[in-house]
Amino acid sequence: MFTFKPDFTTGIIGFGAFGQLIANHLAPHTRLKLCDPAHDVMQLANGQNFANTAIGEIAKCDFIILAVPVDQIRPTCQALNPHLLPGSTVIDVGSVKLEPLQIMQAELPDFTPIVGTHPLFGPQSAKDGIENLQIAICPTHGPHHRLIATFVKRLFKLRPIQISAADHDKEAATVQGLTHLIATVLIEMDLPETRIKTASFDLLNQAINMVRDDAPCVLAAIEQANPYAAEIRDTFFTTANRIRQRLQPDPLLVGNNTSENGPCTTIP
Amino acid sequence: MFTFKPDFTTGIIGFGAFGQLIANHLAPHTRLKLCDPAHDVMQLANGQNFANTAIGEIAKCDFIILAVPVDQIRPTCQALNPHLLPGSTVIDVGSVKLEPLQIMQAELPDFTPIVGTHPLFGPQSAKDGIENLQIAICPTHGPHHRLIATFVKRLFKLRPIQISAADHDKEAATVQGLTHLIATVLIEMDLPETRIKTASFDLLNQAINMVRDDAPCVLAAIEQANPYAAEIRDTFFTTANRIRQRLQPDPLLVGNNTSENGPCTTIP
C-alpha cells in the first residue's frame, strides 16, 4: 500500500486557467513548485507567491503534473526527460487521454510511472468547490493510478472514474465534443438578449456559460486531438442537415394546413 | 376595471398535453368545460371527470381557450364563429403569435375580444409548479389582455410579459427555435449513456429532457409557423458549417503540433 511522505513535493508545469485551479487546491497539501516561463511570479488565490521554478528542479518533485496544452506535452516531456530520477511520477490532466499517454510513454524514461487523468471540471464548474465532481483516471502499467485515485478521493472528495484511455476518448467525444461544438456555434451566433425565457433555454445558456471562457486550446484538444471527435461531429452535422431538410417548407404544400408531423389533437 | 363574475365559465378546446396542464390549473377557479372529440371522458389529475362538450356549448363560455395545434386554429375558429355571442373572450396558447392572432382576427366575429398568449412552459418545466414562470401576452385592441395578465398573476403567480406578436415571434425563434432544433438533433443521434459526465453536458441533457416529450406539432409550430425561425435556423447551420470547416484537420498540417488557436501556455 502506498502512503505519502509527510513532505512530498508536487511540481505543476503550466499556470494557465487549469494549472491555477490545481495549484489552488493542492497548495495546502504538498510542497508546491510551479513552472511557467510566461510568468516571473505566480500568485495563488490565498495570496501565496511562487517564483518560476526551472524544469530541472520540477523534475525532482515526487509528483509532476503537466497542465499544458495537449500539443505541448511532447516538448515538455522531452525537456523533463534528462532530469528525471526514479521515484517521480508524471501525471497529465488533458481533455484527451490516448495521445498524451502515448507521448508520455514514448518520451519519458522507462522507470517513470505515468498516470493519465482528466478532471471533468473547469474553472466555471469548479467555482463553488470540486467536491463530488468526477476525475477520469486511466491506468497504465503499475499501481500508481490507484494512489492518485485514493489521494483525490480522500483529500478533495472527487469521484475517480477508472477508465481506459480509449473508452475515455470515446465518451469524451460525446460528452465534451458535442457540448463544446454546440456552445461554440451559439457563442459565435452572438444571440441577442431576450425578454422571454424558457427553462430549457436557460439550461442551454448555463451549459454554454460553463465553457464560454475556456482557452482556445481546450476546444482544439477536445475537437481535434480526440480521435473519436470527428465521427461524433460528422454524425451531429449529418443529423442536423437531415432535420434542416425536413423543416424546410415544401413549396408544393404552402397553403395546405395539414401537419405532416401528427399525431396532434385535431379539432373540431 | 374588469372583475370576474363569481361563476365565470371557461371552455378549453383541445385535451392534449398542454390542454390538460391548463385544465388542471384552472379547475379550482372556474366552471370548466372541455372539448376534444378524441376523448369521450377527460380526467383531471384530481380525479374529476369531464364529458366532451360540443363546440356550440363551449362557445357560450366567458373564456374560450384554444389549446389546439397552430394548424387547427383556423378550423376551430370557423367552427366556433356561428355560436359566439358578445361577452365571450377567445384566448390562444400557441408557441407562435403572429399567425394565430391573424387567423383569430380573420375568422372570429368583430365583437369577440381576442387575446394571444404563450405560456412559456410545458408539462416538464411545470411539473414542480408554475409559480414565477413566464407567460407572454400579446395585446390586441381593447383591454382584455390586461384582465388575463392580472388573472394569471394573482391566481397562479405567473409572470406576464406584455409583448407584441412580432417581437414575441422574433424572440421565440431564438429561445424556442434553437433549443428545440438542438434537442431534436441530439435526440435523433440517440447518444449512448456515458460513465464520464461534465456539469455542462448534464445541463445540456436537462435542457433536452425538458422538450423530449413535446408533441411533434410543437416542433412544427416552433420551427415552421414562426416566420423568423428559418432565418435563425439558417444562421445556426451556416455558423455550424463554418466551425466544422475550421475543425477539420488540414492534411498539410498533419504532424505539425503547433496549435492555430493560441494563446495557450507554451511550455517549456
Gap between the Cα atoms of A236 and A181, Å rounded: 9
**Encoded amino acid at B66, one letter:** L
Distance from CA of B68 to the nearest CA of A (A): 7
Strands B49-51 and B41-43 turn out to be antiparallel
pLDDT score, position B20: 97
Question: For residue B4, what pLDDT is reported?
Answer: 63
Q: Is the pLDDT at B264 greater than 90, yes or no?
A: no
Residue A4: the pLDDT is: 63
Q: pLDDT category, B2, cuts 50, 70, 90?
A: very low
Beta strands in chain B (DSSP E): 9-13, 31-35, 41-43, 49-51, 63-66, 89-92, 114-119, 134-138, 159-162
**Cell numbers found for residue B178:** 434553437
Please list every residue in chain B whose beta carbon sits closer than 8 Å to the beta carbon of residue A166.
none
Each residue's pLDDT tens digit, A138-159: 988 778 999 999 999 999 999 9
A207-223: pLDDT as tens digits: 999 888 888 888 888 98
Average pLDDT, chain B: 89
Taking the CA of residue B253 and the nearest CA in chain A, the distance in Å comes to 12
Taking residues A226-244, what's their average pLDDT? 92
For the stretch B5-40, pLDDT in tens is: 778 999 999 999 999 999 999 999 999 999 999 999
Which residues of chain B have a CB within 8 Å of the CB of A175? 194, 196-198, 201
Residues of B in contact with A181 (CB under 8 A): 240, 243, 247
Q: What is the share, in percent, of chain B residues with pLDDT greater than 90?
A: 76
Out of A37, A136, A248, name the one closest to residue B196 (CB): A136
Joined together, the cell numbers standing for residue A103 give 507521448
d(CA B54, nearest CA chain A) in Å: 9
- Does residue A259 surpass a pLDDT of 70? no
Q: Is the ipTM of this complex over 0.95?
A: no
Show residues of chain B in contact with A196, CB under 8 Å.
Answer: 118, 120, 134, 136, 161, 163, 168, 171-172, 175
The Cα B247–Cα B114 span in angstroms is 50
> How distant is the Cα of B61 from the closest Cα of chain A, in angstroms?
17
How many cross-chain Cβ pairs, A to B, lie less than 8 Å apart? 278
In the prediction, which pLDDT does A214 show? 84
pLDDT at A265: 52
